[in-house]
Structure 1
Amino acid sequence: MPGFIHKAAAGAVIASVCSLPQAADKIVKVGFSSPLTGAQAAAGKDNERGLRMAVDELNQKGVKVGADTVKFEAMVEDDQADPKTGVAVAQKLVDAQVKAVFGPYNSGVAIPASKLYNDAGIVMATVGSNPKITLQGFANVYRVSASDSQLGGKMALYAARELKFKRVSLVDDRTAYGVGVAEEFAKVAKANGIEIVSRDFTNDKASDFNAILTSIKGKKPDAVFYGGYFSQAAPMKRQMKTLGLDVPLMGGDAICDTEMGKLGGDAVNGSVYCTQGGGLLKTNSAETFVANYEKRNNAKPMFYAVSFYDAMKLVAEAMSRAGSVEPAKYGPVLAQASFKGVAGTYEFDANHDLKSSPVTIFQFKNGRPEPLANY
């Protein structure tokens, strides 16, 4: 099992896994928040599968925390990718006295929910990428994936340096995630010689983009950057093809998904670029994770299953190292330790962002995102 390398221990590996569970296991509840219904349900269910896989592995092996062998139980909640629902979910999990929360998936949900979790003294490990999440100064909030500045900025660098784009149109869905990643793209694009020729807005429930795309076509851009999710990006790319707007579509991690290929069909192949923080590299641990995931679920993992899997293992290690399941005790260990997970090494800076989160640029081929370069 991956383990902590504590800074004070100069590379010593701290093992959290011990003997098989005894009869009197201590139950430790953890929470989960992601969209399990609606347009982003596929991503949410993938996140849940990653978390449950980690929980089952930990419970099978047994984790020693202080004098107890603990058994983890996941409280899984559907936040519907909606901020209001996400806050209600957060209150429910706070009332249940969970010891950690994995999620929310969406930045727009994570930002308001984070205050409830932090005020309640509960560790929140999110993949939400908007920089505001970790700039609030909350001691209990951690980001376990790349931020918008990394995702949007690196896509802009690749567009300028490798794809040689000079004119790009921007569209975002007005969510915290979509706005954040689009703004970061625009900032770095402009600094690297790309002109933003138009800026349009939609929403994360929309399906008809013809008016926006007709306007964009008249601007003659080299590409379109979309800040939003695959559920809108896929029909947008299909409509681009129908309108004869024959230019690439770029985006962040939320379009970098096999669902984009399924929903977008032939329109996406060779014509969609996206970024993903971390991801599954070709390592033994990654191959084992994918094989186990496929065996359990009869499906390939999407991008964030591994982040939820790693985050659960990371928190379990911190609890074991601290000898306590209480966030006030294991939180400082989490903040100061380094954890080698399946997707890479998790080590946090002062804001609880990852110190190192390399970004991979992908292009869709045969309906799936294929890696092109690391940035």
Structure 2
Amino acid sequence: MRSTLIPLLLLLTPLAQAQAPLTVKIGSASPLSGTGAHQGKDIENGARMAIDDLNAKGVSIGGRKIQFVLQAEDDGADPKMGTAAAQKLVDDKVVAVVGHLNSGTTVPASKIYNSAGIPQISPAATTPLYTRQGYKTAFRVVASDSLVGKTLAAYAIRTLKAKKIAVIDDRTAFGQGLADEFTKGVKAVGGAQLVSRQFTNDKATDFNAILTQIRARQPDVIFYGGMDAVAGPMLKQMKALGINAKFVSGDGVCSEKLPQLAGDALGSDKVICVVAGGVSSAEEEKAAAAFAERYRQRYKIPLQTYAPYAYDATMVFAQAMQQANSTDPAKFLPALAKISYHGVTGDIAFDPSGDLRNAALTLYTYREGKQVKLQVVR
């Protein structure tokens, strides 16, 4: 009996191995701890939704069924933690990375991914430096600060009719970079005076000194380069000091959590912010709303900002693998560079630098504690 079973098992084993799904790991890197954890978790959640959708659909590449797995790492919004997280993902042999959130972690991590030949799509980092390093592995599905700064400057001057503008940034690579681009935009558009440039940090809670100086200049608009965790308390202190200026910022502030962080200091039409991407047709609006509702039902919280971009980034990786008929980064990277994909956030295609072609931006405000879309700009 034994001599009969052994040959049979030997025949069955290769067949079982051939039919077993191939596990393909995609990495996710973002702050899962600290003040930006809600935004970082948003990225992980969006990527995980895409992974689950791909596995439910069933994807075969190279004649082999694929089982995608997400490996999420905490970068703490810190450059040192970010490079450590990047190296761990490389060592654990992920084939692609969705991340990071902050520009200050994205740029140093991108060097590690590039050296390993692993493609990276950031769903959030906006510093122009990221895609100006010449890395063929670096892509993003959001607009760069140069476009964001220019758009916000034009809106502040032409729509809000600002004559005097004050600028604050948190001294991070993201915050300072965005504030610099906004300042350039103000000078390029013309018609408004930059009356103050102040600095804080991404963990600060007391802004009375800089806001008191700004109040004396009586600005129509205060621009802030930074994240919502700081913007909320800053808005509260602006209200306490009687500063009625409009508050203008980028995607780091444009979150569902801002009303909680700012409380009644949020006001109505006081905050104007922008996020990358833009859907305008009724069909696209319906798809975006359906994604947001599906996210809410799954995680029991509203999506913040970056989940749709992380979702699309993950889907783009999968499509590139399918087009190349390979899960080898060296083989699907050329397909990724030429990708054309219509996602939750709109059309995705990259220029030679890895930036979005024909990038869209969506301007928002808040009314009665709710985020309200103003317009899509291309």
Residue among 336, 348, 368 paired with 2:338: 336
Give the whole-Å Cα distance in 1 for the aligned partners of 2:53 and 2:188: 46
Identify which range, 184-193 or 203-212, moves more after superposition.
184-193
The corresponding residue for 1:250 is 248
Give the whole-Å Cα distance in 2 for the aligned partners of 1:299 and 1:209: 30
Q: What displacement does 1:364 show?
A: 1.2
Amino acid aligned to 1:28: V
Q: What displacement does 1:123 show?
A: 0.6
Q: What displacement does 1:238 show?
A: 0.5
Give the whole-Å Cα distance in 2 for the aligned partners of 1:327 and 1:269: 48
Highest Rg: 1 or 2?
Answer: 2
The corresponding residue for 2:328 is 326
Look up the SS of the partner of 2:252 in the other structure: helix
Q: What displacement does 1:180 show?
A: 1.2
Look up the SS of the partner of 1:38 in the other structure: coil
Alignment of 1:44-123 (within 5 A): 44-123=40-119
Residue among 156, 163, 167 paired with 1:166: 163
8 Å Cα contact 2:156-2:221 kept in structure 1? no
Amino acid aligned to 2:299: N
Give the whole-Å Cα distance in 1 for the aligned partners of 2:135 and 2:349: 17
The corresponding residue for 2:134 is 137
Q: What displacement does 1:269 show?
A: 2.1
Unaligned runs of 5+ in 2: 1-17
8 Å Cα contact 2:279-2:376 kept in structure 1? no
Alignment of 1:1-375 (within 5 A): 24-126=20-122, 127-193=124-190, 194-270=192-268, 271-279=270-278, 283=284, 284-375=286-377
The corresponding residue for 2:10 is none
Q: What displacement does 1:369 show?
A: 2.3
Give the whole-Å Cα distance in 1 for the aligned partners of 2:103 and 2:138: 13
8 Å Cα contact 1:274-1:363 kept in structure 2? yes
8 Å Cα contact 1:279-1:303 kept in structure 2? no
Give the whole-Å Cα distance in 2 for the aligned partners of 1:225 and 1:289: 31
Amino acid aligned to 1:175: T
Return the structure number with greater helix share.
Answer: 2
8 Å Cα contact 1:173-1:201 kept in structure 2? yes
Q: What displacement does 1:68 show?
A: 1.1
Amino acid aligned to 1:41: A
Give the whole-Å Cα distance in 2 for the aligned partners of 1:263 and 1:285: 28
Structure with higher RCO (Cα < 8 A, 6+ apart): 1
Q: What displacement does 1:368 show?
A: 2.7
Give the whole-Å Cα distance in 1 for the aligned partners of 2:267 and 2:328: 48
Q: What displacement does 1:60 show?
A: 1.1
Give the whole-Å Cα distance in 1 for the aligned partners of 2:256 and 2:199: 24
Look up the SS of the partner of 2:371 in the other structure: strand
Q: What displacement does 1:279 show?
A: 4.9
Aligned residue-pair number: 354
Give the whole-Å Cα distance in 2 for the aligned partners of 1:173 and 1:294: 31
8 Å Cα contact 1:319-1:330 kept in structure 2? yes
The corresponding residue for 1:13 is none
TM-score (ref. length: structure 1) = 0.92
Give the whole-Å Cα distance in 1 for the aligned partners of 2:114 and 2:359: 24
Post-superposition Cα deviations, 1:14-34, rounded to whole Å, max 9, x if no partner, equal xxxxxxxx9510000111111
The corresponding residue for 2:5 is none
The corresponding residue for 2:15 is none
TM-score (ref. length: structure 2) = 0.91
Give the whole-Å Cα distance in 2 for the aligned partners of 1:353 and 1:247: 33
Q: What displacement does 1:286 show?
A: 1.8
Amino acid aligned to 1:343: T
8 Å Cα contact 1:258-1:367 kept in structure 2? no
8 Å Cα contact 1:170-1:200 kept in structure 2? yes
